[in-house]
Amino acid sequence: VGEFELLAKVRERLTEGGPRVRVGSGDDAAVTVPGGATATSVDALIEGVHFRRELSPPASTGSKALAAALSDLGAMGAEPGEAYVIVGVPDDLDEEGCMEVLDGVKRLADETRTTLAGGDVTRSPVLLLAVTVVGHAAAPEDLVRRSGARVGDSVVLTGELGGAAAGLRLLQEPSLGEELEADVASLLRLRQLEPWPRLAEGAMLAAARASAMIDVSDGLGADAGHLATASGVRLRIDLDRVPLQDGVAELAAAAGVESHVLAQGGEDYELLASLPPDDVREAQAALDSRECPLTVIGVVEEGEGVELSGPSGPIDPLGFDQLA
Amino acid sequence: VGEFELLAKVRERLTEGGPRVRVGSGDDAAVTVPGGATATSVDALIEGVHFRRELSPPASTGSKALAAALSDLGAMGAEPGEAYVIVGVPDDLDEEGCMEVLDGVKRLADETRTTLAGGDVTRSPVLLLAVTVVGHAAAPEDLVRRSGARVGDSVVLTGELGGAAAGLRLLQEPSLGEELEADVASLLRLRQLEPWPRLAEGAMLAAARASAMIDVSDGLGADAGHLATASGVRLRIDLDRVPLQDGVAELAAAAGVESHVLAQGGEDYELLASLPPDDVREAQAALDSRECPLTVIGVVEEGEGVELSGPSGPIDPLGFDQLA
């Protein structure tokens, strides 16, 4: 198909009505009436840098690109609103593959009630997605920043870590999963390929007076460091308390690395937040309704940076040396 | 430099305060309080597809990526607000080159009073920019769509066409410019490398009751076709009336093509609009204050599609066959 025809098909899939959308794409720009405050985040997923096409099905790639962007809205406690998606299509991806990418975007958009308000398609040397998401809140103060952590706050983490890094290793070397049950291995791969953005949980943490919040995309130590720097505090985190996804410990053993290396691997898109110790129980109760564990993994102290400790003592928060 | 250090530098350059910005990038998302209606558009510039690094200096590439996105806001008559920029940096672009790209973005942002509210940098196999721009208006009705052209309206064009296509040919084959004066050739190259988004002119056309508007990025015939289709009308355009940038005719002669081929080449980022004949003079007077010509080049008729006529009769509106 020609670029114009493909563009028309893409626009059709990438455009829909939404509560705040007055004009969808197909015009020069999408027109919305936001009201209140907006949170806007951009993210790109580039073949050969962030994913490999032979390991990631087209629909997963589309879903993950949107998920990574939406995760930033979750980390602000914003309600998801609109998404704008640029798809760069290489010559060797056929129309079917291109539509599968879009279907992946669309499916997650539907599941998260995000309006696809605009998009564009272009030729590209590699498959790439550039996603802009806009979230909403009644007022700027309702959005949780990275900079509000206070000394004495508890450091809490949603869900479980390590699955994305373990899933990547499984995809790269399937034999590592020989000892795993099939559904456990499958969920590890899915965590890498199609992460889920913690939008509802982020909103609940915001409502439960989280003082600071960030999503764990770069890795626990790195993202805790971003939060510590923005807040002008130190985060002391006990890696022994970090819940690991089912199969991570077994996969780590098979791969000959310590579990905390996988827990530090990033891309799990869980939320790391600080909040007063007295508010932890209320937050846990709220997230319990989503069947999402909320675990106290550390404390906010005076100082700077991150102190990570594991079973055998201190651990490099960035963990670069340990990661292949 | 490492990716994190470069990221920090990029974020510093890509982030600033703006009238609607409460939290700049560096947090998970930028926070704004838009008020009224917003127009949002996305655009990507990818090396090897939209530009060649050996022909386009880094600053020009940055500027053009933002200009192409802002031009869509001009075509809505929106006031420029915020921009979010993803830069994909290949291994063979050094830090200086990367900063020059950002300087190009920043310079045009300053000149157009656009706030750089967020951005990201990532490794990439080729240099690429993905830009999201958000423009503002008091109400959705103030933004001019493609779909409002009415039978009997005049079709008007800002500025002059052909410069971008002529400039590209000059860059590709400098000897074509041997007969051109140096400053004329220089302005042709500049038109290709650093187009200017018609933001003020778009706002003036909106205020002068333009019934429909689009920017000429794909080419006059193609973009007129988009407007005709969206409005359910036919546009009859006389190519003889289309003003050509200085040097386009000479360059066309040197290249052995007809001038209208270059006028159809796209990327000039002029605005094509329809408005009632009685309102043309007021619009011309307004744009005169910007020293921007506004030329009646056609009329809106019943029917569909575009009828382009030149000195030797009808011309294919898409002009694909004529373009190398």
- Residue A318 is encoded by which pair of tokens? 């960035």
Token reading at B320: 């694909």
Write out residues 214-243 of A within 8 Å (CB-CB) of B: 214-215, 230
One pLDDT digit (tens) per residue for chain B, 324 residues: 456 577 677 767 666 667 788 777 678 888 888 889 999 999 999 999 999 999 999 999 999 999 999 999 999 999 999 999 999 999 999 989 999 999 999 999 999 999 999 888 899 999 999 999 999 999 999 999 999 999 999 999 999 999 999 999 999 999 999 999 999 999 999 999 999 999 999 999 999 999 999 999 999 999 999 999 999 999 999 999 999 999 999 999 999 999 999 999 999 999 999 999 999 999 999 999 999 999 999 999 999 999 998 766 777 766 544 433
d(CA B25, CA B23): 7
Structure tokens at B158: 């800002």
**Pick from A301, A318, A323, A297: which is nearest to A240 by CA?**
A297
Give the nearest partner residue to B124 out of A30, A49, A143, using CB atoms.
A49
Whole-angstrom distance, CA of residue A153 vs CA of residue A301: 8
CA–CA distance, A120 with A175 (Å, rounded to integer): 39
- Both tokens of B32, joined, read 């704004």
Nearest neighbour of A29 by CB, restricted to B26, B85, B135: B135
Query: What element of type H or E holds A222?
Result: helix A220-231
**CB-hemisphere CA count at 13 Å for B60?**
16
User: Between chains, do B123 and A214 touch, taking CB under 8 Å as contact?
Assistant: no
pLDDT for A72-118, tens place per residue? 999 999 999 999 999 999 999 998 999 999 999 999 999 999 999 98
- Torsion sign over Cα A110, A115, A117, A122: negative
Q: Does B43 touch chain A (CB under 8 A)?
A: yes
Q: What are phi and psi of A45, to 5 degrees?
A: -125, 115
pLDDT tens column, A272-290: 999 999 999 999 999 999 9
Which of B42, B133, B218, B321 to mutate: most A Cβ within 10 Å? B42
Whole-prediction pTM value?
Answer: 0.93
Closest approach of chain A CAs to the CA of B309, in angstroms?
Answer: 23
Alpha-carbon distance of A57 to A60, in angstroms, equals: 5
Q: Categorise residue B256: left if φ over 0, alpha if ψ from -120 to 50, beta otherwise.
A: left
d(CA A257, CA A254): 8
What are the structure tokens assigned to A197, written together?
A: 């953005």
Would you call B50 helix, strand, or coil by DSSP? coil
pLDDT digits (tens, 9 = 90+) for A228-257: 999 999 999 999 999 999 999 999 999 999
Q: Say whether B75 and A143 touch across the interface (CB within 8 A).
A: no
Rg of chain A's alpha carbons, rounded to an integer?
Answer: 20
Contact B41, B81 (CB under 8 A): no
- Indicate yes or no: CB of B123 within 8 angstroms of CB of A30: no
Distance, in Å, from the CA atom of A240 to the CA atom of A237, rounded to the nearest integer, reads 9
Q: How far from each other are the two terminal CA atoms of chain A, in whole angstroms? A: 40
The radius of gyration of chain B from alpha carbons, rounded to an integer in Å, stands at 20
